[in-house]
Structure 1
Amino acid sequence: MVIIVGNQKGGAGKSTLTLLLANYLTRSKDCKVTVLDMDYQQSISQKFEKAKILENAEPYEVLAYSLADFPEMEDTIKSSPKDIVLIDLPGKLDDDGLIRVFKAADIAVCPFSYDEFSFESTVPFALVLKKINPDVQVLFVPNRIKANVKYEIKTEVNEQLNQIGIVTAVIPDRIDFQRANTFQTPLAVHAAIVPVFSHIFQDYIEPHL
């Protein structure tokens, strides 16, 4: 199974969400996961290498690749459909290398926030993805949402995104999100993500494993 995490807007939380989902699937659901870090900053790969230096156990492998490398590994990915490949995508739409990745995806997790700039970046990403791969299940995740902020466009955004895919429950903002790494998720963060990730797992991942 291939799960891509993407949005063309920078700062949406793609890399952190990829890392947290990998931790959840391996630690809580005992899934075999490989993370392909295709983001330009490759922050997941950096955290993975740091964890290895500290001699922490590696619950999953993190591989740093570019979009151009994907065709070479596609057959290997397809040969193990019960394994989960999580791909952290670069924040852009203007690379033809995305086409093969989009076509291979079973699920797309698209983090966003309730502001106009995020919404205007999220919709084109999702529409292009669905045009290339009509069968992909798109899950829009409201990410790092502040509890004391009233988001005036929330209802309108949810209505429009639900026409393309499914808007999940929100992931609330936590100051210790950045403390997450490739071998552990802070307890407060874990509590914040479980309602969203358990729904994604039960409804969209587990039926295909």
Structure 2
Amino acid sequence: MICLFGNQKGGVGKSTLTVLSGNFLSLDKNWPVTIIDMDYQLSISQKFEKAKVLENKEPYDVLPASLENFPMLSSVLTRNKKDAILIDLPGKLDDDGLIPVFQSADLVICPFSYDEFTFESTVLFAVVLKKVNPKVDIAFIPNRIKANVKFEIMSEVNEQLSKFGIITASIPDRIDFQRITTFQTPISLDGVITPIFEEIFADRLWKK
């Protein structure tokens, strides 16, 4: 399974959700996982290297890579169809290197927030993605949501995004997320994260 984490808009929590998914699939579901860090900041790779100094055997590998490397990488990574390959994408759409990555995807997880600019970027991302890979499944995750979001905005955004994929329950803006590592997810976040990932990965966990 190849699962992308993407949105044209930066700062929506792609990297955090990539790590959370890696922890969930490897630690909770015992699924072989490899994370490919294509984000320009390489925050997952940095987190991984830092954690390796402090922890024991890592639960999965994190590989920094660029879009140009993907065609070469994909032939190696997809040899075993039962592995979960999680790819943290750069926050952009204006690179032809995204096309083979989009085409390879079985699932795309797209975090977003309920503001006009992020909504427009998210819709554009979904339109381009579906044009390149019409069969791909998309799961939209409302992320870092504050309690004062107006219901009217949520309703309108959800109606539009539901044309492209499923919309999960919201993830609130909490300080606990700063304590996530590539070795563990804080127990305090289990009740928030686990039901969302169970919903997203349910069919694929059964088939793996």
Answer yes or no: same fold by TM over 0.5.
yes
Is residue 114–residue 149 contact of structure 2 (8 Å, CA) maintained in 1? no
Q: Gaps (5+ residues) in structure 1?
A: none
Do structure 1's residue 171 and structure 2's residue 171 form an aligned pair? Answer: yes
Q: What pairs up with 1:34-73 in 2 under 5 angstroms?
A: 34-73=34-73
Q: Which residue is 1:180 aligned to? A: 180
Cα separation, 2, equivalents of 1:129 and 1:162: 15
Q: What pairs up with 1:1-209 in 2 under 5 angstroms?
A: 1-203=1-203, 205-209=204-208
Deviation (angstroms), 1:79: 1.4
SS at match of 2:164: coil
Is residue 139–residue 165 contact of structure 1 (8 Å, CA) maintained in 2? yes
TM-score scaled by length of structure 2:
0.96
Is residue 23–residue 182 contact of structure 2 (8 Å, CA) maintained in 1? yes
- Give every structure 1 segment of 4 or more consecutive aligned residues whose post-TM-superposition deviation is greater than 4 Å: none
Count the aligned residue pairs: 208
Q: Gaps (5+ residues) in structure 2?
A: none
SS at match of 2:175: coil
SS at match of 2:169: coil
Tell me which amino acid in the other structure corresponds to 1:44. I
TM-score scaled by length of structure 1:
0.96
Aligned-pair RMSD on alpha carbons? 1.2
Is residue 55–residue 183 contact of structure 2 (8 Å, CA) maintained in 1? no
Deviation (angstroms), 1:148: 4.5
Deviations 1:145-197 (A, max 9, x none): 12354343100111110111111111122112011010011112222111101
Tell me which amino acid in the other structure corresponds to 1:3. C
SS at match of 1:144: coil
Is residue 174–residue 189 contact of structure 1 (8 Å, CA) maintained in 2? no
Deviations 1:77-105 (A, max 9, x none): 23111000000000000011100000000
Tell me which amino acid in the other structure corresponds to 2:190. H
Tell me which amino acid in the other structure corresponds to 1:47. K
Query: Once the two structures are aligned, what percentage of the paired residues are identical?
Result: 62
